[in-house]
Structure formats: structure tokens, C-alpha cells
Amino acid sequence: MVMFSLTPVLDVCTQQQEGKELTKEEKQRLRKEKKQQKKSKEKKDDKPSRDSEKEKKPASAASPAPQTPTQPPAQKAAPAPVPVPASETPSAADKPAKSKAELKAERRARQEAERASKGKKGDVGPQAAPGKPKAPPSELQPVVKRLPEHVQVDNPEVLKKLAKKLERQQVYGCAPNCCGCIPLRSDYGYKVSLFSHLHQYSRKAPLTQQLGIPSTVIHPAIVRLGLQYSQGIVAGSNARSVALLHAFKQVIRDYTTPPNEELSRDLVNRLKPYISFLNQCRPLSASMGNAIKYIKKEISNIPSQCKEEEAKRKLLNCIDCYINEKIVLAAKAIAKYSIEKISDGDVILVYGCSSLVNHILCEAFEKNRKFRVIVVDSRPRLEGREALRRLVQKGINCTYVLISAVSYILPEVSKVFLGAHALLANGYVMSRVGTSQIALVAKAFNVPVLVCCETYKFCERVQTDSFVSNELDDPDDLIVTRTGTTQLEHWQEVPSLGLLNLVYDVTPPDFVDLVITDLGMIPCTSVPVVLRVKNVDQ
Amino acid sequence: MELQAVLMAAGGGSRMTDLTYNTPKAMLPVGNKPLMWYPLNLLERMGFEEVIVITTKEVQKMMSTDPKMKLDVKMKLDVVCIQEDGDMGTADALRHIQQKIKTDILVVSCDLITDVALHEVVDLFRAHNATLAMLMSKAHEFTETVPGQKGKKKTAEQRDFVGVDQSGKRLLFMANEADLEDGLSIRKSIMRKHPRMHIKTGLVDAHLYCLKKAVVDFLADNKSISSIRGELVPYLVRKQFSKTTNCPKIKDDAEDQNQKKNDGSTNHGHSSCLSFSLDRSCWNDHRGDMSEAYHGGKLRCYVHIMDEGPCYRVNTLAAYIEANRLAPKLFEEVPVHPSAVISERCQMGSDSYIGAMCQIADKTSIKRSTIGNSTTVKEKVKVANSIIMHGVTIEEGCNIQGSVICSNAVIGRGADLKYCLVGNGQQIEPEGKDHWHEHTP
């Protein structure tokens, strides 16, 4: 890396002093080299070299513009962005060109020093990386993949960047000088250290506190949706996606293209702040992410000569089709496949409240299959009660237990039907916390476990544990009042006490026997195949 | 647009006629600001940019000349004038401006002084897709002696019975004592759906309502309803539990989504989409019975009850005095207006507020009082616990305690007033001794 840069920089320098234009490749190489030099220089805290580096910069004073956009992303690792563009011009102004030979000598000396220090650092770098994935990876080669920002909540620099990003997100429809930004929702309470990289919000501090009341910055339908998410009124993967799509339909209906803008580009930009608002209210689910990708693709594919009314009609139509195909019809297809698997006399175990599993059981009951259901429930959400209500309303014979009794009840069970929040690319099933427990115990009892999941919930992520990416719910939900006393009322005052309210967990594919999707009944390991086929289709 | 604000400022102040004899209620000075400045300030702080103000011509004239209104209120005020004769109720006023209303509305009364976080009320309205969301507050005891009344004030006020569900947010029952003849009767249908109900009586209605646009359209069709608080709100609360076939407003949600979609209103078809998502959602607002969320009811009324924090409705004399005491503290009013001329030998307590262009002479003592604009106070005057409005002249040697002196009154030399109420433009003769609990309109 260090070797090749010598000659091009010299060439660049000579060209510059001759006043010729730089070619693109040379500019790029120059930029890359500067990046690396800056990184290593900041680590060494080497003042003199920085000054001489700034002096070297007049060489690139001809191209300050293309440099500035690349500088911010280049400084991801560096804590404080070096004010390069600002320093360039003054140094360029007060320093006439040094002689060629002097510059060459300086550069060579610097690069030798760097090479020597990098040789030492390179050994330490890769070893440190697996142990501390959060350490600034500038010490390693630049090809390393960084953790996404939403998973680095305990890193204050990342938080600062996120806040700045939210501020900079231009929200359309508001005056340019008003603070049209989405406020940052602050975390609440002490977080358990294993999960300190995730956000933990309190339901009593909604994001709407910081927004103005007649919300002009964010479309009212989206504010309403965000509130419903954060208060748990709309919960469950399918419900959230459907509600999101309906809200987007409303946004599209109320949208008018500003003059000199194209609908295909402007509408996508307008949706961005809404999506970050919804993300702050409650982290987006995999199904919502896929739905958003689909909508953005559809919007960008609108031809530019299409009239606004027709474009809007097309988009609304697309959304309706998506809901119909991926959710409603998929549920019908999955029900059809599952009914083949349900035989008379079955005892089916379900966990929590999955809209799809409830739908399947109701359909099977209508087709006169004779079975009974055991509903397993867990705190603090107690969603099983809602599932119980819906099944009993249909007339299905149900039993209700808490998850602590699952190993006592399993000898009676013939099949386990589970719903999924998302299916990951390595075959793992992400679902409500407690699902992997049920699958594990079922496996121990040799009871078949069937997971029902629509294909639009398949996601490209890969995860093998429940720590790296999860959601932390309001810890105050765990507090319960029995016979007038609330033991955990003052949990915040006890310094060593942390309340953890996890939402999701991940089940390995060894515990899952079959996945029933709208494409058919596939084994867990075929998920990447489905994803690949889907991508080819699109 | 999400919400339109409507300020009702045409009220006559029927319970404090002495004060409102000459000045309309909306422009009564509280802490040297007109009363309607307070709700306007609340709306402005919350982020509203336009308000529809329903008021009388007199108030509109006074508004345009009042400096506080012109300078401090930066929102656009769309003033609608109605007749002063007092026959028009609040619901009638809404019917009058039906054409201007394009979305859901937030109705505020001009006599509300509070610093509530409005998002609490509006969030209930948004999240549950409610038809009505209102604000109530625990009543505060009035501690000040009211001038013009001998003895303690009897609670001749009729109580309101408010029934809320277990969460304290859903409004189940609302009735005034006057309407209940032989007792409180609650329908069985309500008890079946909400077996646990809390009934509260010590609540003050802040007269702040979030109403759906469909309600305004309903009002246009039903001309018999003339007051929001007296008739519309109890009607809506009752209708939550009636069979849906009778309720005229239900059709608007379901049918509208099949009809035109070009209105831009956010309510269109929203309830049908919401029910589609709620069907798949694992949430229910109650448990223990077999019905779905909200018991399948489309009409829902919610209330936010403020536990702490100031919330006053200035519609009686006692409330007016209390508000004068507390409102300036709320808004960090500057105690002495910069243009007031106060001589050095004047003793001014920290709780006092002096308005613009006042002249306070030597050897005066002003404690816990509010003095309005352009008032002249001559030497050796003692003012304590009083409210003195604009343009009053107080001659030397007076002693004023616990009184309310309305605009442009003249208090003669050496007068001694205790707990009196002096009306507009009145003159108290000099050396008038020992006026006690008097009442001069």
C-alpha cells in the first residue's frame, strides 16, 4: 500500500506544478493515501507530521471539491474529523510551492517511518479485532465490516453521529429555518451489560413529547403509527407491516410533487425521515424492512414522464397487491399446507400469539379437523391470553399453561406450531423470546416442531445468538404489584440491579423440523435458496 | 394538517358579572396580561401556527389595541365574530365555522390557564383513534378570601360525576348532579364491558377537547345540541355503548373509504385499516371476556386527568383571584415593567407585579398585589393582597387590603378598603372609612 503511492504522488505533484488536470485514478489514489496517512498520524499524535501533511495538501488544492464528500466517510474510525478542507486553503494561501526535491525527501522520510510503525501494529490488529469488535477498526486493514450503528448504542461517538444524522435529515414540507429534525429518543434506565449496545426506551417518554403538536414535520398518519407501535397497540410482525403499508398509502395520497422535482426521487427522500422516526419509536422488524425495500424500489421505478395522479394510483395499487399477495394469500396457502399436517386427534402446542398460527388453527377447525390446542404463555407480555381468546371464540378446545410448565405438558403434545418474526439466512428462526426454549424441549421429547412463516419475512441477516441484535422493551413492564406491594418499584436506586426485558430470541435450525411457507414446506436450511431465488426474480 | 385549534372567546363570564360588567371576560387582566393570552400562549408553545378565534366584536377591537396581544402572539389569528347576545352556545359556534374546519379540531376555552403537556391529551386522541379526548384536573382549593362575600364561600357548585375505567384513561360515564334525579344509574351494558369503574367527583373540566372532524359534521346535522360541555360530551360518552345501528356517525368511517379518496383527510378509511391491523395484532385493551379490542366499538372517548400542575378555569371571582396570584409565577413575569416609574422609597414585596407606565409615589407599600397598566398610586398608600386593574388612581393615604379594583376607578384620599370589590369607573369618596366586604358594581 505504501509502496505504490510514492510514484503517483510525485507524478501528481509534478503535474500540479505544471498546472495540468489530475486524472480520476490519480485523484482516488491520492485520496486513499491521505486517508491512511491521516489515520496513522492521529494514532501517533504526531504534530510535526500533520503540519507537513497540511503543507503537502496544497498539492491537492486543485481538487478540494471531490475530496470533501469522501472525507467524512473516510473518517468513520477517527474520533474527531480533521478539518481538512478548512486547513487546506489557508495553508495553500500562505505557502508558495516548495521545491520538488524537498517535498520528495519529506514524503519519503514519512513513509519510511509509517512502514516501520505499521509493521508492528499489523500483528496486534487482527488479534484484537475478534475480542473487541467495538474497538475502532482503523488499526486493521480497511476491508473489515463494521457493526451497524444501531448496535453500537454504548459508543458515545456513534450516538453523536446518529444525532447529527437525524438533524441533517432534511424533512420536506417545513420552513428551511425551522428545526425540521426528528428528535433523538433517549435511553432509559440501567442496561444489563451484555445488551448495553441496544436501545432501551421507556413507554412513559414517547417521542411525541419533543415534537410539535399539529405535526407538520412528520405526516400525521406516521405519528399515529409511531405512537401505536411504541404503546404496543399494533404488535406482531404482520400487524406492524400491514399498518406501515396503510400509513404509507396515506402518505402517498397526500403527497404532491414540489416543482422541479421528480416523484421517483423526491418521494423516496420524503419517506426517509418517516422511517427513522418509526425506528425511534420501535426498532423496525425484518418484515417491515422488506416492505420498505419493496416500496422504495417501486417508487424509483416510476418512469419520469408518468403523470402524478397516475403514478400515485400505480403505487397505491402496488401496495395493495403486496399486502394481498404476501400476507393475505400467503396465509391462505400456508393454511392449506398446514391442514395436511394436522390429523384428527392431534394435540397442538402453540406459543404466544402469532396471527398466522391462529389463522391456521381456525381454518383447520372449520375444515372439521378434530384437535385440541395447548397455549403456552410467558410474562411480561402475556400474549397467549389473546391467542386463547381467539381460539376459544371459534370453539376450539384449549388448555392454557405458562412456559414454566412446558416440560410437564409436552408428553401429551403431538405437534408444535410456532410463528416466526423473521427467518435468517443461515436457517435460524427469530421469534418471540421463549420460542427457542419450546423448540429445545420439544426436541428433547421428540415432538415435531413446525414453523409457519411467510416468505416476505425472510431476511438476509445471519445471526447465531440472541445477543448481537435484539430489542429491549420497557424494563418497567417487569414490575408487578401483588397484594398491594410492588417489590421492584425503586429498582433504579439499587445500583447493582438491572432489569432486562428481551423481546426476541433465535432458534437454531436443528430444533426445527419443517418450515411451512407460501412456497411450500421446506426444511430450515433451504432459506438461503429461497432468498436467492427471490433476488433473481427481482 | 393534523389539528386545527379553535379558541372560544365569546363567553360572557356569567359567574363573575361584577368583573365583566365593562370588560369582556376574554380581556380581563390576569397578571397584567389579558386572559386569552394564556391559552394562546399554550397553543403557541405547543407548535400551533394558526388559531381560529371565535369572539365578539368588542373583544376583537380590544385585541387589536392591546400591546401584549400584538407583540407576544406570533400565530396567525383568524378571528370570527359572533353576536353578543349570548344565545350562541359553544357547539353553535362550531356549527357556525363548519366551513373553515378541514381536519380534527382542538377546542380551547379562553379562560384556561395551565401548563399541561398537551401531547398527553393528543396522544390519546391519536393512538386510539378516539372521537373525543379531553383534559381534566384535580380541583385545587381556593385559599384566598373573596371580596364582596361575607363568610366562607358555600359550595353551591353542582358536582360532576366522571367514570373512568381501570387504566384511568377511557371515559365511561359523565353526568352532572343536576341531571341525576334519584341517583346515579349506570347501564348494564357498561358494567358488563367494564366491570371495574372508578367514579370521581373532585375534577375540574379544563374545557379542552380534541374532536374528530366527523363530530363537527354531525353537529351541523343536529342543530339541537348547543353546548359542547353540557350536551355534546355527555352524548358522545353515552353513545360509546349504544348499539352501533343507532349511532349516526359510524357510517362515515366505513363508507367513506369506498367513496372519494381525494379529500386528503387522514380519517378516511383509517378505521378500517386500523381494524385490519388490530385483527392481526396481539393487543387488547381489556381482558377477561371474549370480545376484541375496544369491544368492537367504533366510538371512543378518552380523558387525561392531570394530577399535579396548575390548571385553572377563570370563570368565578375566586378563581380569578387565585389565577392572579399564581399565573405570573408560572410564566416568569418580570415583576416590574420597565416603563413603570417607581420612587425609591416605595416598599415593594417580591410577589407584586407592576404593569406598564405606572406611577408609584413615595412611602407606599405594595405586597402580594398586581397593579395594572397606567395606574397612579400616590403617597402613603398601603396595598396588600389586592388586584388593581388598569387606569386606576389611588389617592394618598389609602389602605387597600384583599380587594379587587376594576379599571378606571378612583379611590379617594384616605379611603380604607378591606375585601372590597370596586367596579369599573367607580369613585370611592375620600375618607371613606372601613369599607368591609363591600361590593360596588
**What is the reported pLDDT for A21?**
54
Q: Are residues B311 and B341 in the same domain?
A: no
Q: pLDDT band for position A43 (50/70/90)?
A: low
Is residue A504, in this structure, part of any structural domain at all? yes
Is residue B277, in this structure, part of any structural domain at all? no
Task: Using the predicted structure, report yes or no on whether residue A128 has a pLDDT greater than 60.
Answer: no
Out of B48, B126, B281, closest to residue A236 by CB: B281
Residues of B in CB contact (< 8 Å) with A are 1-5, 46-49, 106, 117-119, 122-123, 126-129, 261, 264, 266, 270, 273-274, 276-284, 287, 290
Which of B272, B305, B328 marks a domain boundary? B328
Cβ–Cβ gap A353/B119 under 8 Å: no
Q: Are residues B358 and B301 in the same domain?
A: no
Task: Using the predicted structure, report yes or no on whether residue A222 has a pLDDT greater than 50.
Answer: yes
Question: A138 Cβ partners below 8 Å, 6+ apart?
Answer: A39, A43, A77, A78
Task: Using the predicted structure, report yes or no on whether residue A22 has a pLDDT greater than 90.
Answer: no
- Higher pLDDT: A425 or A106? It is A425
Which residues in chain A have their CB less than 8 angstroms from residue B117's CB?
A: 209
Q: Are residues A438 and A500 in the same domain?
A: yes
Q: Are residues B235 and B361 in the same domain?
A: no
Q: Are residues B308 and B421 in the same domain?
A: no
Cβ–Cβ gap B127/A355 under 8 Å: no
**What is the reported pLDDT for A45?**
54
Q: Are residues B353 and B414 in the same domain?
A: yes
Query: Which CATH number covers residue B406?
Result: 2.160.10.10
Query: Which CATH number covers residue A428?
Result: 3.40.50.10470
pTM: 0.79
Cβ–Cβ gap A253/B278 under 8 Å: no
- Higher pLDDT: A59 or B270? It is B270
Q: Are residues A412 and A311 in the same domain?
A: no
Q: Are residues A252 and A368 in the same domain?
A: no
Is residue B252, in this structure, part of any structural domain at all? no
Q: pLDDT band for position A240 (50/70/90)?
A: very high
Q: Are residues B127 and B217 in the same domain?
A: yes
Which of A294, A327, A360 marks a domain boundary? A327
Cβ–Cβ gap A227/B127 under 8 Å: yes
Residue A180 pairs with which residues in a beta bridge?
none
Out of A208, A216, A238, closest to residue B280 by CB: A238
Q: Are residues A409 and A500 in the same domain?
A: yes
Chain A, 203-242: which have a CB under 8 Å from a chain B CB? Answer: 206, 208-209, 211-216, 220-221, 223-224, 227-228, 231-236, 238-240, 242
Query: Which CATH number covers residue A221?
Result: 1.20.120.420
Q: Are residues A390 and A515 in the same domain?
A: yes
**What is the reported pLDDT for A189?**
87
How would you class A395 by CB atoms within 10 Å of its CB: exposed for 0-12, middle for 13-18, buried for 19 or more? Answer: exposed
Task: Using the predicted structure, report yes or no on whether residue A53 has a pLDDT greater than 50.
Answer: no
Chain-wide mean pLDDT for chain A?
80
The pLDDT tens digits for A282-300 are 999 999 999 999 999 999 9
Which residues in chain A have their CB less than 8 angstroms from residue B129's CB?
A: 224
Best residue in A233, A244, A315 to probe B by mutation, most B CBs within 10 Å? A233
Low-confidence ranges of chain B (pLDDT < 70): 68-71, 85-86, 148-157, 244-271, 432-441
Chain A, 336-365: which have a CB under 8 Å from a chain B CB? Answer: 352-353, 355
**What is the reported pLDDT for A173?**
43
| A538 interface with B at CB cutoff 8 Å | no
Q: Are residues A250 and A358 in the same domain?
A: no
Q: Are residues A243 and A290 in the same domain?
A: yes
Structural domain including A289 reads 200-327
Structural domain including B406 reads 335-428
Grid cell digits, residue A198: 441496544
Q: Are residues A362 and A474 in the same domain?
A: yes
Is residue B282, in this structure, part of any structural domain at all? no
Out of B46, B48, B123, closest to residue A227 by CB: B123
Which of A299, A327, A355 marks a domain boundary? A327
Average pLDDT over residues A200-214: 87
Q: Are residues B238 and B359 in the same domain?
A: no
**What is the reported pLDDT for B411?**
85
Average pLDDT over residues A216-221: 88
Average pLDDT over residues A255-264: 88
**What is the reported pLDDT for B366?**
85
What percent of chain A has a predicted confidence (pLDDT) above 90?
51
Q: How far apart are CA A129 and CA A139, in angstroms?
A: 9
Q: Are residues B324 and B405 in the same domain?
A: no
Q: Are residues B407 and B301 in the same domain?
A: no
> Per the structure, how many domains does chain A have?
2
Distances (CA, A) of B241 to A179, B170, B188, B311, B313: 43, 12, 10, 30, 30
Q: Are residues A382 and A527 in the same domain?
A: yes
Q: Are residues B109 and B223 in the same domain?
A: yes
Is residue B437, in this structure, part of any structural domain at all? no
**What is the reported pLDDT for B440?**
63
Which residues in chain A have their CB less than 8 angstroms from residue B290's CB?
A: 389, 392-393
Q: pLDDT band for position A155 (50/70/90)?
A: confident
Average pLDDT over residues A110-133: 57
Pairing relation of β-strands A481-482 and A485-486?
antiparallel
Is residue A31, in this structure, part of any structural domain at all? no
Smallest Cα–Cα separation from B78: which of B47, B54, B94? B54
Grid cell digits, residue A421: 418474526
> Per the structure, how many domains does chain B have?
2
Residue A422 main-chain phi, psi, to 5 deg: -160, 155
Q: Are residues B309 and B372 in the same domain?
A: no
Is residue B267, in this structure, part of any structural domain at all? no
Q: Are residues A238 and A300 in the same domain?
A: yes
Cβ–Cβ gap A386/B283 under 8 Å: yes
- Higher pLDDT: B80 or A535? It is B80
Q: How far apart are CA B140 and CA B152, in angstroms?
A: 16
Chain A, 378-437: which have a CB under 8 Å from a chain B CB? Answer: 381, 383, 385-387, 389, 392-393
**What is the reported pLDDT for A87?**
40
**What is the reported pLDDT for A70?**
42
